Amino acid sequence: MTRAHPRELGVLAALLLLIAGTAAANPRFLSAQSVRDLLLSAAILTVLAAGQTVVVLTRNIDLSVGSVLGLAAFGTADLLATHPGTPLPLAALAGITIGALCGALNGALISYGGVPALVITLGTLYVLRGAAHSWAAGRQINAADLPRPFLDLGTATVLGIPLLALLATAVVLAVALWLHSYRSGRELYAIGSEPAAAARAGVPAGRRIRTAFLLSGSLAGLAGVLYAARYGTVDATAGQGMELQVVAAVVVGGVAIFGGSGSVTGAALGALLLTCIGSSLAVLRVDPFWQQAVVGALILAAIGLDRLLTTRLAARAARTAPEVSRAG
Amino acid sequence: MPDPTAAPPPALRLHRVAKSFGAVTAVSDVSLTLHPGRVHALAGENGAGKSTLVRMLAGVHRPDRGTLELDGHPTVLRDPAAARAAGIAVIHQEPTLFPDLSIAENLYLSRQPTGRLGRIDRRALRAATTAQLARLGVTLDPDRPARGLSIADQQLVEIARALSLDARIFVMDEPTAALSGTEAARLAAVVRGLCDRGAAVLFISHRFEEIFGLAHDITVLRDGRHVSTDPADRLTPDTVVRRMVGRDVGALYPKTPTTPGDTVLEVTGLTRHGAFHDISFSVRRGEILALAGLVGAGRSEVVRAVFGVDRYDAGTVTVAGRPLPAGSPAAAMAAGLALVPEDRRQQGLVLQLSVERNTALTRLRRLARHGLLTTRRERADALHWTERLRVRHGGTHTPAGTLSGGNQQKIVLAKWLATEPAVLILDEPTRGIDIGTKAEVHRMMSELAARGLAIVMVSSELPEVLGMADRILVLHEGRATATLPGPGATAETVMAAATGHPGGAA
Ligand SMILES: Nc1ncnc2c1ncn2[C@@H]1O[C@H](COP(=O)(O)OP(=O)(O)OP(=O)(O)O)[C@@H](O)[C@H]1O
Ligand SMILES: [Mg+2]
């Protein structure tokens, strides 16, 4: 990254503060086991947030990710339960493909149908959840039905760090690299920042937006695979309501909800922060109601902060303009 | 000057093109030919259809009828990408930048220099941007986001973007509207350079010095129709104006001498760090004060601070003897100030709202009866103003965003003139306004001054400053370098002060 991002540093500071505060009140919060649990829980949300970031940057939103996760989790688990011999990479690929198909459907409906993403993905949220229910027909797949190596993936660690967390980090880094250093990645920012200018500049907005939804769907598919591996118990309700957490993570992480600015690292920090709040309030034995209130307040604070920063930055830029811009 | 018949085949030919938007015919039956190495100027009143032609060449609009040929081959420009691929670079009248992206990326989006594995080479990107901006004599930081750039800087970025394209045909829609003479002269030099390298240029401007200084051929449009095309050396500004307007235009700068009354606006020691320093001036009733200077001298920043849009660090503003609280446009309006902003699309108009609603927006209270605002009242009022300023529109109920650039500017003017303020602050009041209406705007300014209004005008157009102002305050890099009496000032004295050499003005 070429510049320090004040917004991401802010989230990081909040995260460190929260951890320090909770650890001071209850040192067990920082035990190896509890940190591992934290990272495991954050991993799935982070993968979803990475996909959501790409979509939100283009001034769109993907509300269907929770349902896609559910469908992919159930699909993968069902495949492994009925065909226990399936190689694991193939099973994972199956889950990702389910997600990719859902994402492609979203993208096609939005870019060809000309209907706002909010409406389309709200529709597919229900449709895909319905599809999962009719596929599952009330069945639940339990850990006992799944091959041991698959379940091990969910708890495996490398040098003490959960494998899922490493995977999520890899996803974040790859998406960050694309968004930051590739022409097509920069075009996503352009589309979200000023659609009219993007059209004039000849940016293939439709194609880019379809790609964004394809990626979001695929990552939701991957998240579904991870979900199945981590929890072992999957039914048609897997990931229900997750879309709101994801959007919250992205917004708290500094991705502008109207597109054009923010980063996937920020969104990942947002996911980590939200997960941390959940477990730290649990450790501190705070009423779960307060947990929701805190998350809500954080979202409002994040949005307020963004408005403030934008106007401040604009004002500062305007102020320094004559000095910077004119030699004389 | 080469003979057009002996010149190489036309780079671009529009043949009998037409374009309508619903009931509004923007362009009907216009033909236009661009030759390599020649500058072709397009003149016409606001709403004559110039920008519509430009959008056809940019691949934004498809002509309803007629054909387009490139190097003799009939071509259809399906979208902006197709136009760009065909070697056409367009500077649009309203710059549209990506506020969140850096200036460098605004210039080179989708064309960023890449290094290993297709990754963007940021250093090369920065260097290329700096080089492009340097051609125009601009030293903006390539890494700063475009958000918050002044209109002039936005326009310079838009120009640099087009120039950075490796194009054979350059289409420039009022590129100099927000620029002062110095920047415009630099652009003219660049345009001549492009021509020498064999590029064809279509150039639009409402400033005749520029047209006659640059163009080889001049085409005049009126009401969307082609009126004439002639080599520039066979025309005079007067003929062009007559053809544009179809009637004689009243004298420009009809300044009537007034006897100034009491001081209404007094600004002392106004300072905002990094923008302007220790600015003091006062305006009396019936007086027109002009703020002159180069782009970026801080003129707009000063008036924005006076009106309370921006904060300031030191100094005072008093209106009719009473201090005005800083940073409150509402208080400024209540005290009788009005500001016609520089950036009409961002600050002046609600583009989706109708013409009549936009015109009424500043006076909803006053126009309403028993708290109810009737469409009829709004419409009658809007008609009065649109006729007075000769706004060309497809009905006062149409969205303001569909008006031509100059006509949008007129609506902004109407909106504020109608508030009948005590102090009227105009930031580039005639930017993008055609010559006929310009005379009308100037006449209205004189009239308002004669009725006792105090007027503060920021203008980059030297003739306007010299013709209209009673007094001229010249700024250079945020500092006042001279206060000149309007009648005695000359282009030389103002320019000397504007470039920071007021010594020559003595
Ligand atoms: N999208 C649109 N919808 C409806 N009317 C339009 C649209 N675009 C342009 N027009 C109308 O077409 C006419 C020509 O507009 P155009 O922008 O080409 O004028 P112009 O010559 O560029 O004027 P100016 O000097 O003010 O820029 C105007 O009357 C305008 O209102
Ligand atoms: Mg125009």
DSSP code per residue over A160-171: TEEHHHHHHHHH
User: What is the crossing angle of helices A242-252 and A65-82, to 10°?
Assistant: 130
B101 with A186: Cβ contact below 8 A:
yes
A-facing residues of B in 115-144 (CB < 8 A) are: 118-120, 122, 138-141, 143-144
DSSP bridge pairs for B323 = B318
The CA distance from B472 to B491, in Å, is 12
* Phi/psi of residue B404, nearest 5 degrees: -70, 160
Q: Does residue A273 belong to any structural domain of this protein? A: yes
Q: Which carries the bigger pLDDT value, residue B349 or residue B160?
A: B160
DSSP-derived secondary structure letter, B487:
T
**pLDDT above 70 as % of chain B:** 92
Please return the burial class of A82, using the count of CB atoms within 10 Å of its CB with bins 0-12, 13-18 and 19+.
exposed
For residue B236, report the distance from its CA to the centre of ligand 1, in Å: 26
Residue B412 has pLDDT above 80, yes or no: yes
CB-CB: which of B82, B153, B272 is closest to A325?
A: B153
Alpha helices in B231-388 (DSSP H): 237-245, 299-307, 329-334, 355-360, 364-367, 375-388
A203 with B99: Cβ contact below 8 A:
no
Q: Which carries the bigger pLDDT value, residue B419 or residue A198?
A: A198
Q: Using the Cα atoms of residue B395, residue B398, residue B403 and residue B406 in order, give the sign of their dihedral.
A: positive
Chain A contact present for B271, CB below 8 A: no
Residues 6+ apart with CB under 8 A from A291: A277, A278, A281, A282
Task: Report the top-level CATH class of B247-336+421-506.
Answer: alpha beta
Say if ligand 1 is within 6 A of residue B51 CB: yes
The side-by-side arrangement of strands in the sheet containing B12-21 is: B24-34, B12-21, B65-70, B73-75
Residue B434 has pLDDT above 80, yes or no: yes
DSSP bridge pairs for B372 = B369
| Intervals of chain A under pLDDT 70 | 1-6, 306, 309-328
pTM for the model stands at 0.84
Contacts of B80 in chain A (CB under 8 A): 199-202
Classify domain B12-97+149-246 at the CATH topology level: Rossmann fold (3.40.50)
Question: Which ligand 1 atom is the nearest neighbour of the CA of B22?
Answer: 4
CATH code, A151: 1.10.3470.10
Domain limits for position A112: 4-317
Say if ligand 1 is within 6 A of residue B407 CB: yes
Residue B429 has pLDDT above 70, yes or no: yes
Q: Is the CB of residue B276 less than 8 Å from the CB of residue B304?
A: no
A328 with B499: Cβ contact below 8 A:
yes
Helix (H, G, I), strand (E, B) or coil at B471: strand
pLDDT tier, B371 (very low <50, low <70, confident <90, very high otherwise): low
Highest-scoring range by mean pLDDT, A215-224, A318-327, B24-33, B349-358: A215-224
Contacts of A189 in chain B (CB under 8 A): 98, 100-101
Residues of chain B with CATH 3.40.50.300: 12-97+149-246, 247-336+421-506
Which residue CA neighbors atom 7 of ligand 1 most closely? B402
Q: Does residue A81 belong to any structural domain of this protein? A: yes
A315 with B500: Cβ contact below 8 A:
no
Q: Does residue A327 belong to any structural domain of this protein? A: no
Residue B421 has pLDDT above 90, yes or no: no
pLDDT tier, B2 (very low <50, low <70, confident <90, very high otherwise): very low
pLDDT at A311: 66
DSSP bridge pairs for A161 = A158
Chain B contact present for A205, CB below 8 A: no
CA Rg value for chain A? 21
The CA distance from B446 to B454, in Å, is 10
Report the domain count for chain A.
1
pLDDT at B141: 94
pLDDT at B447: 85
Task: Name the residue in chain B with its Cα closest to that of A184.
Answer: B110
Q: Which carries the bigger pLDDT value, residue B351 or residue B472?
A: B472
Which regions of A167-284 does DSSP assign to beta strands (E)? none
Give the CA distances from residue B207 to residues B297, B350, B502, in Å, rounded to whole numbers and listed in that order.
22, 28, 27
Distance from CA of A290 to the nearest CA of B (A): 35
Q: Does residue A26 belong to any structural domain of this protein? A: yes
Chain A contact present for B101, CB below 8 A: yes
Which residue CA neighbors atom 12 of ligand 1 most closely? B26
Q: Provide the residue type at B194 as one letter.
A: L
Say if ligand 1 is within 6 A of residue B21 CB: yes
Nearest 5°: the CA angle A88, A104, B100 is 110
Ligand 1: residue of B24, B155, B226, B389 to mutate (most ligand atoms within 8 A of CB) is B24
Ligand 1: residue of B32, B46, B51 to mutate (most ligand atoms within 8 A of CB) is B51
* Tens digit of each residue's pLDDT (9 = 90 or more) over B160-212: 999 999 899 999 999 998 888 888 999 999 999 999 999 999 999 998 889 99
Helix (H, G, I), strand (E, B) or coil at B214: helix
Residues 6+ apart with CB under 8 A from B428: B151, B178, B342, B458, B459, B460
Q: Which carries the bigger pLDDT value, residue B145 or residue B6?
A: B145
Distance from CA of B282 to the nearest CA of A (A): 24
Q: What is chain B's mean pLDDT, rounded?
A: 87
List the structure tokens of B107. 């210039």
Highest-scoring range by mean pLDDT, B321-325, B357-361, B409-413: B321-325
Q: Does residue A282 belong to any structural domain of this protein? A: yes
CB-side neighbour CA atoms (13 Å) of A224:
40
Chain B contact present for A314, CB below 8 A: yes
